[in-house]
Amino acid sequence: MADSPRIGVLTSGGDAPGMNAAVRAITRSALHRDAEVYAIHEGWQGAVDGGDHIRRLGWDDVSGILNKGGTVIGTARSDAFRSRDGQRRAVANLVARGIDRLIVIGGDGSLTGTRALRLAWADLLADCVASGEVTPQQAAAHPTLRVVGLVGSIDNDMVGTDMTIGTDSALHRITEAIDAISSTAESHQRTFIVEVMGRHCGYLALMSAIAGGADYTFLPESPPRDGWEDRMVEVLARGVEAGRRDSILVVAEGARDRGGEPITVERVHQALLERTGEDARITILGHVQRGGKPSAYDRWMATVTGVEAVRQVLDGDADSEPLLVGMHRDQVVTRPLLEAVADTRAVAQHISQGDFDHAVAARGRGFEQMIDIYRVLSEARPSVLEGVRPRRIAVMHAGALAPGMNQIARVAVRAGIDRGHQMLAVRGGVPGLVSGHIDPVSWADAEGMAHTGGADLGTRRYVPSETDLYAMARQLEDHDVDALLVAGGYHAYRTVAILEAERRRYPAFDIPVALLPASIDNNLPSWPMAVGADTALNTVVDSIDMVRMSASASRRAFVVETMGRGCGFLPLMGGIAGGAERVYLPEEGITLAGLADDVAAMVDAFAGGRNFYLAVIGEDASEYYTTDVLRRLFEAEGHGQFSVRQAVVGHVQQGGVPTPFDRINATRLAYSAVLELDRQLEAGATAYVAASSESPTLFAPLRDVVDGMDWDQQRPVEQWWLGLREIFAQLSSRPRG
């Protein structure tokens, strides 16, 4: 291994949940590439200090860290590294250990400093040779420094990646707090002001306000206009008049007014007190937003980006510009680091110069749209006046329950009312439409649905029969339904496809219809993450964490069964985020020969000192080799070396409070669906459309979407997550030799 490439990995700046998942992925992926990995402890200060701060990592050194918050290799801000002398010492310490490749996990400051070191590497190396700290031979062997960056920041403030490591976990902490505050605020009819992190970026404030159903928010990129105090009071008063019992205001720590003066929680409190006499309560969440275990998303996202970082730092051109590895639409992407940092810092410059339109635009179209959506949701009056005959849009769920369905209904109702339409609720899914359980719904009827699980409108697994179609058509006619929004899984897609096919026989079906994916199985085409899938995945990962703790005092193997039917999303992603050694997917099936290899690997692992072994299986992975059969087989072949237990996660995957990701996903989909139906109604069109991430409007013709569905297996033909099987295989099994 003397000639093996050596990679240094460090975490720098503020800690973020998911950093440990990245360190684990980098270490194990590099070992599979016959590279050595060195942890640089305490960030750049550790590189400057050298010695025991730079230590080699082995396979077992990163075991058991996937579910831990913070960073096990430490982080610190280093004044010494900002000086040339400190950088020279860092170079000397790295070269002394043969390290000329770096993967840095941190914010824009850490990544900028890393790039500066890379540019000055040759000069600093010459200084080290002159001082005798590095030999000429060592300098010749390491003439350049290769750098790849991963963004670890809860603020989601880096341009060039949809999400930064730690953001999703921070949103979990914030929305949990807002949900808890909402219950006590509603009980006492009080107003609460919540401060969240975000000095130059309002992502956490905006998204937590949407996910938590807050009533007003203040963002650094979009300061309120003069007179905001009166405007705020007016908006809150209209909400109370419409039936709201509580008011929640979310303030980003870096919020300012148009004159550049800070808008603090104390300032907001004083404005409310002077204008309403109400003594609002203040909650500053502080560093609790950084703490806690990482969410499922932060675990698997940090994992896949960590693996890509290793590939780039080993295979990339030594003279190329350092790269940033990030995510876009659940796919790994790379971008020049300098460009990403420059674009990120430009946002702060726009804000300081009062150019707020460019500041918002620089965050991306998605951020802009979510600001528009938030304003619609928080207002208690339509922005479009009702016409002579307002159009009637019905909202319906179909198929199995998925967390986030209530948020879809809430957003659809309020967005429709904002556009001047009359909104209707179909109660009880497809059977409710057959029997005519259709009621008008108001803005206030949607209050409180943002953070509730279940589906208040009701839903059922039901595909209409031939005899149902006539009744459904009559109900649509009798209730003057002009357009229909349907959210659900496999049964919803089947139902809407039938309605489109029967439009010639039943003219009542010849109306605009928008179809949204809501399924914990994530088994629907053209949309990467169905509403409900993230919540179910977090439930699976939480269950795995608890199983792991239950086995801490004994030598034990667990077989954890997830839902998913014919789709392997939950078992595969649960296995990656939960740190499983083996996953069994319905797409691959299970063979006796494969099980023999798995048993041998399990026995060998326990013989080598392992105390815990985890296998995750999808519920329909095999008709014959069921979870119980696997448990018995593993137990029998263990011959008493270890015990084996099974855990069937079951229907708790469908329940619970939807995650922030699912609430935000539901919000974007439902709002876009109402805009699409509104556009069609205005144009006199009657198209059937379904959610599609490839379309600028987020919708494509239904027939184009369902062409990507494997109806027999109840899963998409193309499944993006199957591309992660190789990553799972790398990280779950030691390299041979």
Please report where in the chains the tokens 């008011």 appear, as a residue.
247
Of 412, 377, 407, 443, nearest in space to 217 by CA? 377
Is beta strand 709-710 parallel, antiparallel or unpaired with respect to 643-648? Answer: unpaired
The tokens describing 662, both together, are 């699912």
- Evaluate the CA torsion angle 498, 503, 507, 509 in order and state its sign: positive
Q: Which residues contact 537 (CB under 8 A, 6 or more apart)?
A: 296, 297, 569, 570, 573, 574, 577
**Residue 110 CA to its chain's centroid (Å):** 24
Question: Do 126 and 33 contact (CB within 8 A), yes or no?
Answer: no
The tokens describing 227, both together, are 């007179």
Torsion on CA atoms 79, 85, 91, 96, rounded to nearest 10: -110
Q: How far apart are CA 68 and CA 72, in angstroms?
A: 8
Tally of CA atoms within 13 A in the half-sphere of 162 that contains its CB: 16
Helix (H) or strand (E) holding 569: helix 569-578
Phi, psi of 217 (to 5 degrees): -145, 155
The tokens describing 27, both together, are 């270490």
Catalytic residue among 155, 298, 468, 678: 155
* 155 is an active site residue: yes
Question: Do 615 and 584 contact (CB within 8 A), yes or no?
Answer: yes
Q: Which residues pair with 205 in a beta bridge?
A: none
Question: Do 178 and 208 contact (CB within 8 A), yes or no?
Answer: yes
Of 295, 442, 292, 315, nearest in space to 34 by CA? 315
The tokens describing 28, both together, are 């194990």
Helix (H) or strand (E) holding 719: none
Of 82, 91, 32, 27, nearest in space to 55 by CA? 27
The tokens describing 403, both together, are 């967390």
Q: How far apart are CA 213 and CA 108, in angstroms?
A: 31
Per DSSP (E only), the strands in 45-100 are 54-57
Question: Do 575 and 617 contact (CB within 8 A), yes or no?
Answer: no
**Residue 240 CA to its chain's centroid (Å):** 32
The tokens describing 160, both together, are 């060039």
Question: Do 441 and 417 contact (CB within 8 A), yes or no?
Answer: no
Q: How far apart are CA 126 and CA 131, in angstroms?
A: 9
The tokens describing 684, both together, are 């006199």
**Residue 461 CA to its chain's centroid (Å):** 27
Rg (CA), the chain: 27
Please report where in the chains the tokens 């280093």 appear, as a residue.
78
First to last CA, the chain: 12
Max CA separation in the chain (angstroms): 90
Q: How far apart are CA 646 and CA 483, in angstroms?
A: 47
Q: Which residues contact 216 (CB under 8 A, 6 or more apart)?
A: 209, 232, 235, 236, 247, 249, 250, 378
Q: At what angle do helices 296-315 and 167-188 cross, to 10 degrees?
A: 160
- CA–CA distance from 700 to each of 143, 489, 570, 665 (Å)? 52, 17, 26, 17
Is beta strand 582-584 parallel, antiparallel or unpaired with respect to 612-618? Answer: parallel
Residues serving a catalytic function are: 155
